[in-house]
Chains A and B, each alone.
Chain A
Amino acid sequence: MSDNPTQLAFKQLYQEHHEWLVRWIASRTSGGDSAQDLAHDTFIRLLDRSVMPSSLRSPRAWLVKVAGNLAIDRARRQILERNYLALLQEVPEAEHPSPEDQLEILGLLEQIDQLLDGLRPIEKNAFLMARLDGLSYRQVASELDISLSSVEKYIAKAMLKCYTATYGDQDL
């Protein structure tokens, strides 16, 4: 069975640029497995696209951009994990969730973080404070030093963002 044009283009890109990408990443990280991992994930991301970057003038610039974005996502998850663990330190160990539960909670936090991605901090805050922390809209307005109508506007924007991220444009 012969490859379709997309698969051929992918293979060619891989052959021409994979090793280069691994070296590029390794020179900017502590090296080792993480460079291979990230290069691998970058090429996987390529498969999602209907347009092969070989049609761009500089496939390497494109690969570097994708790898960079993936690295930023990973770093963010690492920071989130660190902050969650720091939060746990403030709770007596006897009250800690089990390691499995901690892992599950971290996954949920990552999901929420992703759903809210793209909102401005103040918009996220208004939403989290009102809908999760249970503050009244007045309290949120006072805490964030904004108007009541801004609070409602930001909550609406956050809810729409989360809805769209969760349900896409699925019809009702």
Chain B
Amino acid sequence: MTSSEVIVQQAIAWRIRLGSEEVSEIDKQACQYWRDSDPRHERAWQRLENMESGFRQTARRTPGLTTTLNQTDAECRRMGRRKALRMMGGSALSLAGVAWLAQH
């Protein structure tokens, strides 16, 4: 594992620790100390933070996001190429079409 990979794993472990209900003040301080001890630690932390805040923003705009993704997963799980090809050329109005129409 490269040193970057190790640091990312550490950052993930810290984020998970801090997301726990049982997180203590000592945990929080230790995490901050870890972040402060190396600029790469902080960078890894920020990358993960940016990633997750992006997800959270989308979740705020999409109540039921988890359900939508789960349902899609379930429906696609057994889809092979045959069914996928048959699905092509469907006539449903796409959102792009709706957006275009809304502008014209």
- Which residues of A are in contact with B by a Cβ distance under 8 Å? 25, 28-34, 38, 68-69, 71-72, 74-76, 78-85, 87, 90-91, 97-103, 105-106, 108-109, 112-113, 116, 121, 124-125, 128-133, 136-138, 152, 155-156, 159-160, 162-163, 166-167, 169-172
Chain A binding surface, main DSSP class:
helix
Find out whether the CB atom of A163 lies under 8 angstroms from the CB atom of B66: no
Find out whether the CB atom of A171 lies under 8 angstroms from the CB atom of B86: no
Find out whether the CB atom of A131 lies under 8 angstroms from the CB atom of B19: yes
Q: A129 contacts which chain B residues (CB < 8 A)? A: 66
Among residues of A, the one whose C-beta sits closest to the C-beta of B81 is A68
Given contacts A30-B89, A156-B16, A160-B8, contact A133 B66 (CB under 8 A): yes
Mask: chain B, 86-98; 1 = CB below 8 Å from A; 0 = not: 1111101011101
Q: B102 contacts which chain A residues (CB < 8 A)? A: 98-100
Among residues of B, the one whose C-beta sits closest to the C-beta of A136 is B21
Alpha-carbon distance A137/B19, docked complex (angstroms): 8
Given contacts A30-B88, A32-B89, A34-B89, contact A72 B72 (CB under 8 A): no
Q: A130 contacts which chain B residues (CB < 8 A)? A: 19
Alpha-carbon distance A76/B86, docked complex (angstroms): 13
Find out whether the CB atom of B81 lies under 8 angstroms from the CB atom of A152: no
Q: A25 contacts which chain B residues (CB < 8 A)? A: 85
Q: Which of B2, B8, B55, B102 has the most CB of A within 10 A?
A: B55
In the complex, 19 of the A-B residue pairs with CB atoms within 8 angstroms, ordered by the A residue number, are A34-B88, A71-B85, A72-B80, A74-B87, A79-B72, A80-B69, A80-B72, A90-B64, A99-B99, A108-B58, A108-B62, A109-B65, A113-B72, A130-B19, A132-B66, A152-B16, A155-B19, A167-B47, A172-B40
